[in-house]
Amino acid sequence: MDSWRTGIVDAGPSHIRVRGHDVLDLMQRASFTDLIFLLHHDRLPSPDERRLLDAILIGGADHGAGAPSCAAARLAASGNRASLSAAVAAGILTIGDEHGGAGSGCMQLIATGLGRVNAGASIDAVARALVSEARAAGARLPGFGHRVHSDIDPRVAVIFGLAEGSALAGNGVRMARALEGAVRDLIKPIPLNIDGALAAVLVDLGFPPPVGRLFFIISRAAGISAEVLEEHLREKPMRITIPVIYDGVAARNQE
């Protein structure tokens, strides 16, 4: 087998370096959030960038034990006590397009839009075109609307407040705002949700679209871990039962 190439971690004989930075030095000076930024980027964050990433990671960590990610993890923790990693993994596996997944989709939408802006169009014109195209295709716009919050998710204001208060908001945030306006004009008022807000900011921080999903996974892993710990410390194994009603074909007489 050929060796694998990697540009992230140099686990050479005497030192471990992450993108050129000595891990021993980072352990003494940096925060975990700095390291997360560095692992997915080519540099450490500025203090304002770190603040913003901390807010994103804190905002997604846990929304209660009933969220699919935490509920699945507790089910695994209840049946499979011998493996903490199995329970955390079961929780992570619920994350996808429908659960925590809109961030990547909205980053892709914004990135597509900014590509057209770089080719000469205005942000507002591109936003209107993107909304019209999605409407014509019957596609949902990722990053807009929410199942639960009928009005603005308060985390959105925090994220945008931090971005705009620190001059980190750039064309990503501008495109998200323009999309929100185009949705209001062309469809109906549907506010940006938390996935849309962090998508806008992560684009401005220079991350590619898959990072929207990956940062949510890292963030939620912390919350899942705490739920798994509580299930182990406080509950009996196999305590969870889900009531089910069978409504399929009737019993047959076997001949």
State which of positions 77-96 bind its own copies (CB under 8 A): 78-90, 92-96
Query: In angstroms, what is the minimal distance from the CB of 172 to its own copies?
Result: 18
Query: How many whole angstroms separate alpha carbon 159 and alpha carbon 222?
Result: 20
Residue 68 interacts with its own copies (CB under 8 A): yes or no: yes
Q: Which listed range, 9-17, 117-125, 137-145, 175-183, lies at the site for its own copies (CB under 8 A)?
A: 9-17
Both structure tokens of 136: 């014509």
Q: Which residue has the tokens 């087998």?
A: 1
- Binding status of residue 214 toward its own copies by CB under 8 A: yes
Is the Cβ–Cβ distance between 160 and 214 less than 8 Å?
Answer: no
Give, as ranges, the residues between 22 and 61 that touch its own copies (CB under 8 A). 22-28, 30-33, 35-36, 39-40, 42, 53-55, 57-59, 61
> Minimum CB separation from its own copies for residue 157, in Å?
9
User: Binding segment for its own copies among 70-78, 126-134, 168-176, 181-189 (CB under 8 A)?
Assistant: 70-78
Which two tokens mark 210? 């898959």
115 binds its own copies (CB under 8 A): no
Q: Which stretch binds its own copies (CB under 8 A): 107-115, 121-129, 183-191, 243-251?
A: 243-251
* Residue 193 contacts its own copies per CB under 8 A: no
Give the shortest CB-180-to-its own copies separation in angstroms: 21
| Angstrom distance (rounded) from CA 168 to CA 165 | 8
Q: At 35, which amino acid appears?
A: L
Output the CA torsion sign for 213, 218, 222, 225.
Answer: positive
Give the burial class of 80: count Cβ atoms within 10 A of its Cβ; 0-12 exposed, 13-18 middle, 19 or more buried.
middle
Nearer to its own copies, 20 or 189 (CB): 20
Pairwise CA distance, residues 38 & 143, whole Å: 26
Interface of this chain with its own copies, residues 217 to 236, rule: CB under 8 A: 217-219, 221-223, 225-230, 232-234
CB of 139 to its own copies, least distance (A): 15
Q: Tell me 192's DSSP state.
A: B
DSSP classification of residue 9: E
| Cβ neighbourhood burial of 29 (10 Å; 0-12, 13-18, 19+) | exposed
Residues 145-174 that bind its own copies (CB under 8 A): 147, 154-155, 158-159, 162
- The distance of closest approach from Cβ of residue 239 to its own copies in the complex, given in angstroms and rounded to an integer, is 9
246: Cβ contacts below 8 Å, ≥ 6 apart: none
Q: Nearest approach, Cβ of 171 to its own copies (angstroms)?
A: 21
